[in-house]
A and B are shown apart, each in its own frame.
Chain A
Amino acid sequence: MRDVWITIGVLSAYTVAIKASGPLALGGRELPEQVSSITRLVAPALLASLVVYETFSAEGGGLAVDARLVGLAGAGGALALRLPMLPAVVAAAGATAGARAIGV
Protein backbone atom coordinates (compact mmCIF):
# COMPACT_ATOMS: atom_id res chain seq x y z
CA MET A 1 0.00 0.00 0.00
CA ARG A 2 2.92 2.36 0.64
CA ASP A 3 3.88 2.09 -3.03
CA VAL A 4 0.34 3.05 -4.01
CA TRP A 5 0.31 6.25 -1.94
CA ILE A 6 3.83 7.27 -3.01
CA THR A 7 2.82 6.79 -6.64
CA ILE A 8 -0.33 8.86 -6.18
CA GLY A 9 1.50 11.67 -4.36
CA VAL A 10 4.35 12.02 -6.83
CA LEU A 11 2.16 11.71 -9.93
CA SER A 12 -0.27 14.34 -8.70
CA ALA A 13 2.46 16.90 -7.87
CA TYR A 14 4.16 16.26 -11.20
CA THR A 15 0.94 16.51 -13.21
CA VAL A 16 0.07 19.86 -11.63
CA ALA A 17 3.59 21.14 -12.35
CA ILE A 18 3.73 20.01 -15.96
CA LYS A 19 0.28 21.38 -16.76
CA ALA A 20 1.33 24.72 -15.28
CA SER A 21 4.71 24.99 -17.00
CA GLY A 22 3.56 25.80 -20.55
CA PRO A 23 1.19 28.59 -19.46
CA LEU A 24 3.81 29.98 -17.01
CA ALA A 25 6.71 29.93 -19.47
CA LEU A 26 4.81 31.53 -22.28
CA GLY A 27 2.65 34.02 -20.40
CA GLY A 28 -0.25 35.43 -22.39
CA ARG A 29 1.86 36.08 -25.47
CA GLU A 30 0.76 34.95 -28.89
CA LEU A 31 2.91 32.23 -30.34
CA PRO A 32 5.06 33.11 -33.34
CA GLU A 33 3.42 31.70 -36.46
CA GLN A 34 6.15 29.10 -36.99
CA VAL A 35 5.51 27.72 -33.52
CA SER A 36 1.73 27.71 -33.83
CA SER A 37 2.01 25.83 -37.12
CA ILE A 38 3.59 23.08 -35.02
CA THR A 39 1.36 23.26 -31.95
CA ARG A 40 -1.81 22.96 -34.03
CA LEU A 41 -0.59 19.55 -35.13
CA VAL A 42 0.14 18.28 -31.62
CA ALA A 43 -3.45 17.18 -31.03
CA PRO A 44 -3.86 15.03 -34.18
CA ALA A 45 -0.40 13.45 -33.74
CA LEU A 46 -1.05 12.69 -30.08
CA LEU A 47 -4.56 11.35 -30.55
CA ALA A 48 -3.46 9.04 -33.39
CA SER A 49 -0.67 7.84 -31.14
CA LEU A 50 -3.07 7.14 -28.26
CA VAL A 51 -5.39 5.19 -30.59
CA VAL A 52 -2.49 3.02 -31.75
CA TYR A 53 -1.13 2.65 -28.22
CA GLU A 54 -4.43 1.67 -26.64
CA THR A 55 -5.21 -0.80 -29.45
CA PHE A 56 -1.93 -2.69 -29.56
CA SER A 57 -0.27 -2.31 -26.14
CA ALA A 58 0.47 -5.64 -24.49
CA GLU A 59 0.55 -6.42 -20.80
CA GLY A 60 4.13 -5.77 -19.67
CA GLY A 61 5.26 -4.07 -22.91
CA GLY A 62 5.40 -4.94 -26.61
CA LEU A 63 2.64 -5.41 -29.17
CA ALA A 64 -0.50 -7.53 -29.04
CA VAL A 65 -3.29 -7.96 -31.59
CA ASP A 66 -6.57 -8.97 -29.95
CA ALA A 67 -10.26 -8.10 -29.55
CA ARG A 68 -9.44 -4.41 -29.15
CA LEU A 69 -8.73 -4.21 -32.89
CA VAL A 70 -12.29 -5.42 -33.54
CA GLY A 71 -13.51 -2.75 -31.12
CA LEU A 72 -11.55 -0.10 -33.01
CA ALA A 73 -13.13 -1.27 -36.27
CA GLY A 74 -16.56 -0.98 -34.61
CA ALA A 75 -15.83 2.59 -33.56
CA GLY A 76 -14.42 3.41 -37.00
CA GLY A 77 -17.52 2.02 -38.67
CA ALA A 78 -19.84 4.06 -36.46
CA LEU A 79 -17.82 7.24 -37.06
CA ALA A 80 -17.70 6.59 -40.83
CA LEU A 81 -21.51 6.55 -40.73
CA ARG A 82 -21.23 10.01 -39.12
CA LEU A 83 -22.72 8.79 -35.86
CA PRO A 84 -21.86 10.88 -32.78
CA MET A 85 -19.43 9.84 -30.05
CA LEU A 86 -21.84 7.98 -27.80
CA PRO A 87 -23.03 5.38 -30.36
CA ALA A 88 -19.41 5.01 -31.49
CA VAL A 89 -18.39 4.23 -27.91
CA VAL A 90 -21.22 1.71 -27.53
CA ALA A 91 -20.28 0.08 -30.86
CA ALA A 92 -16.65 -0.20 -29.77
CA ALA A 93 -17.49 -1.74 -26.40
CA GLY A 94 -20.00 -4.13 -28.02
CA ALA A 95 -17.58 -5.19 -30.76
CA THR A 96 -14.75 -5.70 -28.25
CA ALA A 97 -16.96 -7.73 -25.90
CA GLY A 98 -18.41 -9.74 -28.80
CA ALA A 99 -15.01 -10.58 -30.25
CA ARG A 100 -13.79 -11.61 -26.81
CA ALA A 101 -16.86 -13.77 -26.24
CA ILE A 102 -16.08 -15.81 -29.36
CA GLY A 103 -12.47 -16.13 -28.25
CA VAL A 104 -10.54 -13.53 -30.27
Chain B
Amino acid sequence: MSETTDLRGGIRAGLPLVIPTCALGITFGVLAKPVMGAVAPIVMSVIVFSGAAQFAALSVLAAAGGAVPAIVAGLLLNARFLPMGFAVAPALVGRPLARAAQGQALVDASFAIASRGDGSFDRGILLGATIPQAAGWIGGTALGVLAGPVLGDPETLGLDGVFLAFYLALLVAEVGDRRALLAAGLGGLVTLALMPFAPPGVPVIAASLAALVGLRRRRS
Protein backbone atom coordinates (compact mmCIF):
# COMPACT_ATOMS: atom_id res chain seq x y z
CA MET B 1 0.00 0.00 0.00
CA SER B 2 1.31 3.44 -0.80
CA GLU B 3 1.30 6.22 1.76
CA THR B 4 -1.82 8.16 2.55
CA THR B 5 -2.24 11.80 3.52
CA ASP B 6 -3.46 12.38 7.09
CA LEU B 7 -7.00 13.57 7.66
CA ARG B 8 -5.94 17.15 8.30
CA GLY B 9 -4.09 17.22 4.96
CA GLY B 10 -7.21 15.85 3.31
CA ILE B 11 -9.36 18.58 4.82
CA ARG B 12 -6.87 21.17 3.55
CA ALA B 13 -6.96 19.61 0.06
CA GLY B 14 -10.75 19.93 0.08
CA LEU B 15 -10.87 23.59 1.12
CA PRO B 16 -10.65 25.11 -2.40
CA LEU B 17 -13.80 23.15 -3.25
CA VAL B 18 -15.88 24.72 -0.49
CA ILE B 19 -16.86 27.84 -2.42
CA PRO B 20 -18.11 26.13 -5.59
CA THR B 21 -19.86 23.48 -3.48
CA CYS B 22 -21.45 26.20 -1.35
CA ALA B 23 -22.59 28.06 -4.47
CA LEU B 24 -24.19 24.83 -5.70
CA GLY B 25 -25.83 24.34 -2.30
CA ILE B 26 -27.27 27.86 -2.46
CA THR B 27 -28.60 27.14 -5.95
CA PHE B 28 -30.22 23.92 -4.72
CA GLY B 29 -31.76 25.67 -1.70
CA VAL B 30 -33.16 28.52 -3.80
CA LEU B 31 -34.64 26.15 -6.41
CA ALA B 32 -35.93 23.58 -3.90
CA LYS B 33 -37.74 25.87 -1.49
CA PRO B 34 -40.80 26.61 -3.65
CA VAL B 35 -41.13 22.86 -4.39
CA MET B 36 -40.22 21.25 -1.06
CA GLY B 37 -40.70 23.93 1.57
CA ALA B 38 -38.02 25.13 3.98
CA VAL B 39 -37.10 21.99 5.93
CA ALA B 40 -37.05 19.17 3.36
CA PRO B 41 -34.24 20.62 1.16
CA ILE B 42 -31.94 20.88 4.17
CA VAL B 43 -32.81 17.37 5.41
CA MET B 44 -32.21 16.09 1.89
CA SER B 45 -28.77 17.70 1.69
CA VAL B 46 -27.83 16.11 5.03
CA ILE B 47 -29.05 12.55 4.41
CA VAL B 48 -28.88 12.16 0.63
CA PHE B 49 -25.78 14.36 0.33
CA SER B 50 -25.41 14.08 -3.43
CA GLY B 51 -25.74 17.17 -5.59
CA ALA B 52 -26.34 15.45 -8.91
CA ALA B 53 -29.09 13.15 -7.58
CA GLN B 54 -30.74 15.94 -5.62
CA PHE B 55 -30.90 18.28 -8.61
CA ALA B 56 -32.26 15.46 -10.79
CA ALA B 57 -34.96 14.49 -8.27
CA LEU B 58 -35.83 18.14 -7.71
CA SER B 59 -36.39 18.82 -11.40
CA VAL B 60 -38.81 15.89 -11.59
CA LEU B 61 -40.68 16.97 -8.44
CA ALA B 62 -40.80 20.57 -9.68
CA ALA B 63 -42.51 19.35 -12.85
CA ALA B 64 -45.03 17.52 -10.61
CA GLY B 65 -43.67 14.23 -11.94
CA GLY B 66 -44.34 12.31 -8.71
CA ALA B 67 -42.16 10.32 -6.31
CA VAL B 68 -41.36 7.29 -8.47
CA PRO B 69 -39.85 9.13 -11.48
CA ALA B 70 -38.03 11.46 -9.06
CA ILE B 71 -36.53 8.46 -7.25
CA VAL B 72 -35.59 6.74 -10.52
CA ALA B 73 -33.80 9.88 -11.75
CA GLY B 74 -31.82 10.05 -8.50
CA LEU B 75 -31.09 6.30 -8.51
CA LEU B 76 -29.77 6.40 -12.07
CA LEU B 77 -27.48 9.33 -11.42
CA ASN B 78 -26.10 7.81 -8.22
CA ALA B 79 -25.52 4.43 -9.88
CA ARG B 80 -22.08 5.85 -10.74
CA PHE B 81 -21.08 5.29 -7.11
CA LEU B 82 -20.93 1.57 -7.83
CA PRO B 83 -17.92 1.70 -10.22
CA MET B 84 -16.47 4.53 -8.12
CA GLY B 85 -16.83 2.39 -4.97
CA PHE B 86 -14.95 -0.47 -6.61
CA ALA B 87 -12.23 1.94 -7.67
CA VAL B 88 -11.59 3.32 -4.16
CA ALA B 89 -12.18 0.05 -2.26
CA PRO B 90 -8.51 -1.03 -2.11
CA ALA B 91 -7.62 2.25 -0.37
CA LEU B 92 -10.06 1.69 2.51
CA VAL B 93 -9.09 -0.13 5.70
CA GLY B 94 -10.62 -1.94 8.68
CA ARG B 95 -13.55 -4.25 9.21
CA PRO B 96 -16.36 -4.45 6.64
CA LEU B 97 -18.55 -2.03 8.57
CA ALA B 98 -15.69 0.47 8.85
CA ARG B 99 -14.99 0.22 5.13
CA ALA B 100 -18.67 0.67 4.31
CA ALA B 101 -18.68 3.77 6.53
CA GLN B 102 -15.58 5.16 4.82
CA GLY B 103 -17.30 4.55 1.49
CA GLN B 104 -19.90 7.15 2.51
CA ALA B 105 -17.23 9.82 1.99
CA LEU B 106 -17.45 9.11 -1.73
CA VAL B 107 -18.48 12.26 -3.60
CA ASP B 108 -17.45 13.39 -7.09
CA ALA B 109 -14.96 16.05 -6.06
CA SER B 110 -13.25 14.02 -3.32
CA PHE B 111 -13.06 11.04 -5.67
CA ALA B 112 -11.39 13.21 -8.30
CA ILE B 113 -8.80 14.84 -6.05
CA ALA B 114 -8.05 11.62 -4.14
CA SER B 115 -7.25 9.86 -7.43
CA ARG B 116 -3.51 9.49 -7.88
CA GLY B 117 -3.90 8.94 -11.62
CA ASP B 118 -2.47 5.40 -11.52
CA GLY B 119 -5.67 3.70 -10.39
CA SER B 120 -4.93 4.08 -6.69
CA PHE B 121 -6.58 6.50 -4.28
CA ASP B 122 -5.41 8.50 -1.26
CA ARG B 123 -7.66 7.56 1.67
CA GLY B 124 -6.80 10.66 3.73
CA ILE B 125 -7.80 12.98 0.91
CA LEU B 126 -10.94 10.98 0.13
CA LEU B 127 -12.16 11.15 3.73
CA GLY B 128 -10.78 14.57 4.67
CA ALA B 129 -11.83 16.50 1.57
CA THR B 130 -15.44 15.42 2.03
CA ILE B 131 -15.70 17.17 5.42
CA PRO B 132 -15.43 20.79 4.19
CA GLN B 133 -17.61 19.89 1.22
CA ALA B 134 -20.35 18.58 3.48
CA ALA B 135 -20.21 21.85 5.41
CA GLY B 136 -20.36 23.86 2.17
CA TRP B 137 -23.18 21.79 0.68
CA ILE B 138 -25.42 21.69 3.76
CA GLY B 139 -24.63 25.28 4.80
CA GLY B 140 -25.18 26.47 1.23
CA THR B 141 -28.55 24.70 1.04
CA ALA B 142 -29.68 26.36 4.28
CA LEU B 143 -28.44 29.72 3.01
CA GLY B 144 -30.29 29.26 -0.28
CA VAL B 145 -33.53 28.35 1.51
CA LEU B 146 -33.24 31.38 3.81
CA ALA B 147 -31.84 33.94 1.37
CA GLY B 148 -33.64 32.77 -1.76
CA PRO B 149 -36.12 35.65 -1.89
CA VAL B 150 -33.28 38.18 -1.44
CA LEU B 151 -30.99 36.59 -4.04
CA GLY B 152 -33.58 36.34 -6.75
CA ASP B 153 -33.48 33.94 -9.67
CA PRO B 154 -30.36 31.74 -9.55
CA GLU B 155 -30.38 31.47 -13.33
CA THR B 156 -30.08 35.25 -13.70
CA LEU B 157 -26.99 35.05 -11.49
CA GLY B 158 -25.53 32.30 -13.71
CA LEU B 159 -25.30 29.90 -10.77
CA ASP B 160 -25.89 26.91 -13.04
CA GLY B 161 -22.59 27.79 -14.74
CA VAL B 162 -20.86 27.03 -11.43
CA PHE B 163 -21.63 23.34 -11.86
CA LEU B 164 -19.93 23.21 -15.24
CA ALA B 165 -16.79 24.99 -14.12
CA PHE B 166 -16.58 22.70 -11.10
CA TYR B 167 -16.70 19.49 -13.15
CA LEU B 168 -14.50 20.90 -15.90
CA ALA B 169 -11.78 21.92 -13.42
CA LEU B 170 -11.84 18.43 -11.88
CA LEU B 171 -11.69 16.88 -15.35
CA VAL B 172 -8.68 18.96 -16.43
CA ALA B 173 -6.81 17.85 -13.31
CA GLU B 174 -7.72 14.23 -14.04
CA VAL B 175 -6.64 14.01 -17.69
CA GLY B 176 -2.96 13.27 -17.29
CA ASP B 177 -2.23 10.98 -20.25
CA ARG B 178 -3.59 9.91 -23.63
CA ARG B 179 -5.67 7.05 -22.29
CA ALA B 180 -7.41 9.32 -19.79
CA LEU B 181 -8.02 11.80 -22.60
CA LEU B 182 -9.48 9.02 -24.76
CA ALA B 183 -11.76 7.85 -21.92
CA ALA B 184 -12.91 11.43 -21.32
CA GLY B 185 -13.59 12.05 -25.01
CA LEU B 186 -15.52 8.80 -25.37
CA GLY B 187 -17.45 9.47 -22.16
CA GLY B 188 -18.50 12.87 -23.44
CA LEU B 189 -19.51 11.51 -26.86
CA VAL B 190 -21.53 8.61 -25.41
CA THR B 191 -23.39 11.08 -23.18
CA LEU B 192 -24.15 13.45 -26.05
CA ALA B 193 -25.32 10.58 -28.26
CA LEU B 194 -27.70 9.15 -25.63
CA MET B 195 -29.13 12.40 -24.27
CA PRO B 196 -31.79 13.01 -26.94
CA PHE B 197 -33.70 9.85 -26.01
CA ALA B 198 -32.36 8.09 -22.88
CA PRO B 199 -33.97 8.81 -19.48
CA PRO B 200 -32.09 11.19 -17.13
CA GLY B 201 -29.01 9.61 -15.59
CA VAL B 202 -28.60 6.83 -18.15
CA PRO B 203 -26.24 8.84 -20.40
CA VAL B 204 -23.97 9.46 -17.40
CA ILE B 205 -23.83 5.81 -16.31
CA ALA B 206 -23.29 4.60 -19.87
CA ALA B 207 -20.37 7.01 -20.15
CA SER B 208 -18.54 5.25 -17.33
CA LEU B 209 -18.26 2.27 -19.73
CA ALA B 210 -15.75 4.41 -21.66
CA ALA B 211 -13.31 3.40 -18.91
CA LEU B 212 -13.17 -0.01 -20.62
CA VAL B 213 -10.67 1.49 -23.09
CA GLY B 214 -8.24 0.73 -20.25
CA LEU B 215 -8.52 -2.94 -21.23
CA ARG B 216 -8.16 -2.54 -24.96
CA ARG B 217 -4.80 -0.85 -24.81
CA ARG B 218 -3.39 -3.49 -22.50
CA ARG B 219 -3.94 -6.30 -24.96
CA SER B 220 -2.57 -4.58 -28.03
In the assembled complex, the CB of B218 is this many whole angstroms from the nearest CB of chain A, namely 6
Is B88 a contact of A7 with CB atoms below 8 Å? Answer: no
CB of A85, distance to nearest CB on chain B (Å)? 4
Instruction: Give the residue of A19, A40, A51, A79 whose beta carbon is less than 8 angstroms from that of B188.
Output: A51
**Per a CB cutoff under 8 Å, which of A26, A47, A100 touches B90?**
A26
The answer to whether the Cβ of A22 comes within 8 Å of any Cβ in the partner chain is yes
Query: Do B169 and A79 touch across chains, with their CB atoms under 8 A apart?
Result: yes
Segment 99-125 of B: residues with Cβ below 8 Å from A: 99-104, 106, 108, 111-112, 115, 117-120
* Residue B9 at the chain A interface, CB threshold 8 Å: no
Structural contact, A28 and B167, CB atoms closer than 8 A: no
A101 to B158, CA, bound (A): 10
Given contacts A22-B82, A44-B183, contact A89 B196 (CB under 8 A): no
Chain B, Cβ-Cβ closest to A14: B75
Query: Beta-carbon contacts of A2-18 to B below 8 Å, as 1s and 0s?
Result: 11111110111011101
Is A44 a contact partner of B165 (Cβ separation < 8 A)?
Answer: no
> Which residue of A has the minimal Cβ distance to B93?
A28
Q: Is the interface of A mostly helix, strand, loop or mixed?
A: helix
Q: Which residue of chain A has its CB nearest to the CB of B78?
A: A15
Q: Which of A61-76 contact B (CB under 8 A)?
A: 61-63, 67-68, 71-72, 74-76
A19-B104, A23-B85, A45-B187 known; A68 vs B214 contact (CB < 8 Å): no
Question: Complex formed: what's the CA distance from A42 to B96 in Å?
Answer: 24
On whether the beta carbons of B161 and A56 are closer than 8 Å, the reply is: no
A-B contact count (CB 8 A): 328
Interface pair A48/B184, CB less than 8 Å apart: yes
CB distance from A104 to the nearest CB of B (A): 11
Q: How far is the CB of A26 from chain B (nearest CB, A)?
A: 4
Residues 15-56 (chain A) with a chain B CB within 8 angstroms: 15-16, 18-31, 34-56
A21-B82, A26-B86, A84-B16 given; A93·B157 CB < 8 A = yes
Q: With a CB–CB cut-off of 8 A, which chain B residues contact A19? A: 81, 85, 103-104, 106
Contact A89 B162 (CB under 8 A): yes
> Of B89, B160, B190, which one neighbours A22 at CB under 8 angstroms?
B89
Q: Give the CA-CA distance A39 to B117 in the complex, in Å.
A: 10
| Contact (A37, B48) CB under 8 Å given A7-B57, A44-B174, A49-B188 | no
Q: Which residues of A contact B158 (CB under 8 A)?
A: 67, 71, 92-98, 100
A–B pairs, 5, beta carbons within 8 Å: A2-B67, A41-B214, A51-B164, A52-B191, A97-B157
User: Which residue numbers of A lie inside 8 Å of B, CB to CB?
Assistant: 1-8, 10-12, 14-16, 18-31, 34-57, 59-63, 67-68, 71-72, 74-76, 78-79, 84-86, 88-89, 91-98, 100-101
Which B positions have Cβ atoms within 8 angstroms of A?
16-17, 19-20, 23, 35-37, 40, 43-44, 47-50, 52-54, 57, 59, 61, 63, 66-67, 70-71, 74-75, 78-90, 92-94, 96, 99-104, 106, 108, 111-112, 115, 117-120, 155-172, 174-175, 179-181, 183-188, 190-192, 195-196, 199-200, 203-204, 207-215, 217-218
